[in-house]
Structure 1
């Protein structure tokens, strides 16, 4: 490792303040060809600042890995993975949960790669080309630190000609693989494109539903994907659930999630429809819900229009109020990393005020303990706000 990359004073300052994310504007000179190896970052006096790598991804242009002049070799990487696994011991000890994040990129000291644990199987996600190029050493180190893995699959989450998901090592499980979270079963498919069937960062929110937040209530789950929130609510005593998603596959996938928990489908509605169209339809029909869950993608496009959290979340809130019971709750969630929690809260409350309702923020959730964030705002991307609303 002898490639040296000079940073400007601003870049050096950001690293010394604890931010591990390298941005293009931190570099002294524009990089024509990104080095596919670990590099040394230096200051204007050619003095050592940190060790890491450059690799373009949606968050930035590279990551700081170490500031102690240690070589980033297999021993270093095994140590990183072992430390992360040690921190997750409470999760391994919890028999009611068998799926969680084992290694969370920059939050565990190696930006650009995450590892999820699904009942003894590992799912590795690569977020830029450079870290993927270094994968042999990383995978070997991971499996040295966690030799009990039955099998390993990888997801390529950057622009590439390669297949987005492929099996790396070990046996393939019989699918669906059933995992537990808060005692609820979820059917997952480890090698079906980017998604597995459940977003593990929402475990605490689903936990609140499982333990009875929605007991005796009618629940509307918008952008429902495979219906995980709906299943948690039904398991926790919801009288009925309605799951709405535009994707055709959401219907069989959601039915399956209810079935693996032995929950009757006759109390669950699953609707394949655009969210905003469903709001209009529900209002026309006079439907009312006690609890509405809003967890849209940060950005989505269908044939007719585009949706972005930053621009359109207020509309979701306004439309939800129209079909909420007189004393209801909205769970407002986003994973938009570039939207600060304060702005997210302001956009929700501005929409509520425009509807002239009384509201109270009663609970807030960020990333759970198995998703440690690093010391910059975008790293702690998840924001979930529970609002009690009285009309």
Structure 2
């Protein structure tokens, strides 16, 4: 992969950075912010490969330059100089795929193949749903290398459909190149949601317009854990979305499951997912969908449950919302405890990167202690193995299991 053709006649874009940034790069941080650059030899173009030199004028790192983002450089490689060409990218892809080798059996064909910066593919996610790949981009820097990128995926996955998803902030830049969110780049457009398998269960993924890339693949390990805890229990799946936790609980032998969500669209998807699965345990479980605001419903319901799952969407999308989010997590846990029977299990999860593990776990534990009920902490959990998180800003997912 070469830099922009318009830049080939120019000198290589060279950056020198502040000492703190140099240290961060050496220790594996994948971002270089605008304010950390103290010198560059010329203006850079979007997607250009830029080299960072250290204080001794030695090669330190190379990455994708983005003049329109506060993250000016997204690092591809740190250490000895490397030639970033087609062979390098092919090997780079195989490294990411090798990390997933052996993680999934034939009963699972929905998982993450590339997890952005943590796989050294900055601002790029690639998910698989059965015969469909979904490529999601978070930086316009990739458009400078579009043909190389798509040719590489076509060569490695010749029989798979490829769908493009775009973060909102780069959609104008994509449109200037004739690319749009939901474009089918290769293969025929799907006739409705794509059906894939996870641990033998069948789910639908709206790969064209759905949230994220069509499904919340990152909660797979927690769904599997809920299956192990569900037998004989009455289960509440709050913020249920398309019913992932609900289905696992049903297959695990739950007596009943309530899927609670404010979105009628999400609940309809959950009903379809139940219909996709002919497992005897799923069929014998009483499943009920409730459309309501979770915060309000928890304070008014008189139902009782033996297992409650609280998996809200991100409650802190920016740092200024962090304290408010911590209070909201605590409120949810306290209100859920009011509905939890003795011996019941509460799972609280957070996908807010701005709320640290320590803050989130402390908030839930404090609620448990203040409840006056005896409890034990069963476990805490973080990222699934196909969603590695190699630096602080990437560590968003955490969960805690408490039994009362």
TM-score, with length taken from structure 1: 0.89
The answer to whether residue 293 in structure 2 is matched with residue 274 in structure 1 is yes
The answer to whether residue 261 in structure 2 is matched with residue 236 in structure 1 is no
**Residue correspondence of structure 1 range 267-306 to structure 2 within 5 A:** 267-282=286-301, 286-299=302-315
The answer to whether residue 371 in structure 2 is matched with residue 360 in structure 1 is no
TM-score, with length taken from structure 2: 0.86
Aligned to 2:377, the other structure's residue is in SS state strand
| Structure 1 counterpart of 2:397, from 362, 369, 382 | 382
Aligned to 2:208, the other structure's residue is in SS state coil
Residue 95 (structure 2) aligns with: 83
Structure 2 gaps, min length 5: 4-11
Q: 1:361 to 1:89 in 2, by over 3 A?
A: same
| Structure 1 counterpart of 2:205, from 175, 181, 188 | 188
Listed one character per residue, the Cα deviations across residues 239-258 of structure 1 (whole Å, up to 9, x for unaligned) are 11111111221221111011
Distance 2:324 2:184 in 1: 33
Distance 1:57 1:117 in 2: 30
**Residue correspondence of structure 1 range 248-263 to structure 2 within 5 A:** 248-262=264-278, 263=282
Q: 1:311 to 1:97 in 2, by over 3 A?
A: same
Distance 2:122 2:152 in 1: 16
The answer to whether residue 60 in structure 2 is matched with residue 41 in structure 1 is no
1:359: how far off? 2.4
Distance 2:289 2:32 in 1: 43
Residues paired across the two proteins, number: 379
Aligned to 1:243, the other structure's residue is in SS state strand
1:336: how far off? 1.4
Q: 1:13 to 1:344 in 2, by over 3 A?
A: same
State whether residues 262 and 294 of structure 2, in contact with CA within 8 Å, keep that contact through their aligned partners in structure 1: yes
Distance 2:347 2:103 in 1: 25
1:36: how far off? 2.9
Residue 152 (structure 2) aligns with: 141
Residue 309 (structure 1) aligns with: 325
Q: 1:98 to 1:359 in 2, by over 3 A?
A: same
1:71: how far off? 2.3
Distance 1:196 1:36 in 2: 23
Distance 2:199 2:308 in 1: 21
1:76: how far off? 1.3
Q: 1:265 to 1:3 in 2, by over 3 A?
A: farther
Residue 220 (structure 2) aligns with: 203
| Structure 1 counterpart of 2:360, from 316, 320, 344 | 344
1:231: how far off? 1.0
Aligned to 2:375, the other structure's residue is in SS state strand
1:333: how far off? 0.8
State whether residues 292 and 330 of structure 1, in contact with CA within 8 Å, keep that contact through their aligned partners in structure 2: yes
Q: 1:62 to 1:355 in 2, by over 3 A?
A: farther
State whether residues 57 and 127 of structure 1, in contact with CA within 8 Å, keep that contact through their aligned partners in structure 2: no
Distance 1:59 1:295 in 2: 31
1:26: how far off? 2.4
1:347: how far off? 1.1
Structure 1 gaps, min length 5: none
State whether residues 134 and 213 of structure 2, in contact with CA within 8 Å, keep that contact through their aligned partners in structure 1: no
The alignment's C-alpha RMSD in Å is 2.7
Residue 179 (structure 1) aligns with: 196
The answer to whether residue 160 in structure 2 is matched with residue 127 in structure 1 is no
Distance 1:312 1:266 in 2: 31
